[in-house]
Amino acid sequence: MAAPIPGTSQSTTGRNELDRQAEKIDIFIPHPQSVINASTHLRFSVCSSHEDIMAIYYIETTIPSFYHEVRSEPEMVARRDWTRQWYDAAVISDRIVSSAAVLDELRRGNFHGHEDCIEMLNTMEMLELNESVLEIVEAYLANKLMPADPFGDALHLALATYHRCDFLVTWNCQHLANANKFRQIRRINGMLGLFTPELVTPLELLGEK
């Protein structure tokens, strides 16, 4: 049997709760006989290949939301413009991916432009949510790295980590894209033997060009 990721719970109750939450976003989660060790998995999905020079960007919910932002406050307009400027260039030259978790968050939203956000996601490559990703989520929650919502920020980070995306792009500067949080994430991922994507905003990516 493969060794579990440090910090994860082997509780059947906890495992079943994650599965019940996963069912809400219409994703089938397999139940293998042994626990998959995500830090040593050998078969990567489509996002894990770095054979070409294209950067791989995982976008969470705030990116399509700000792309279609309609509020007129200066900060909102600025974030919308930065998001569009980065995305419109990156979608041509690089690989932008997302997940069914983002689609589910958008579908549950009730804001102007949310249908445009969903349509935007429908054209993207979707990453697989599997048992190994959920193992990483459990490790993050056990180490209090993210708020105790297994299908929130912890899931987005776990997806970008497991699939070895170069960047996780977000406007969530409280739980993801800030220097203090990145140090914590890098430390925990290092303990688990996992890859760590860069956590950035569209504005930071524009500054690199």
Domain chopping of the chain, boundaries: 12-42+52-208
| Paired strand residues for 126 | 98
Phi, psi of 177 (to 5 degrees): -85, 70
pLDDT value of position 73: 96
State the amino acid at position 88 in one-letter form: D
Structure tokens at 1: 């049997």
Give the span between the Cα atoms of 148 and 146, in whole angstroms. Answer: 6
Helix 100-107 with 153-162: angle, nearest 10 deg = 160
pLDDT, position 5: 57
d(Cα 52, Cα 89) in Å, to the nearest integer?
18
- What is the H or E stretch that residue 182 is in? helix 179-192
Residues in the chain with pLDDT values less than 50: 1-3, 9-11, 26-51
Q: At what angle do helices 179-192 and 131-142 cross, to 10 degrees?
A: 120
pLDDT value at residue 146: 75
Q: What is the pLDDT of residue 152?
A: 81
Residue 147 structure tokens: 């708020």
Distance CA 118, CA 104 (A): 9
Q: Round to whole Å and give the CA distance between 121 and 193.
A: 31
- Tell me how far apart the alpha carbons of residues 162 and 44 are, in angstroms, rounded to a whole number: 8
The CATH number of domain 12-42+52-208 is 3.40.50.1980: no
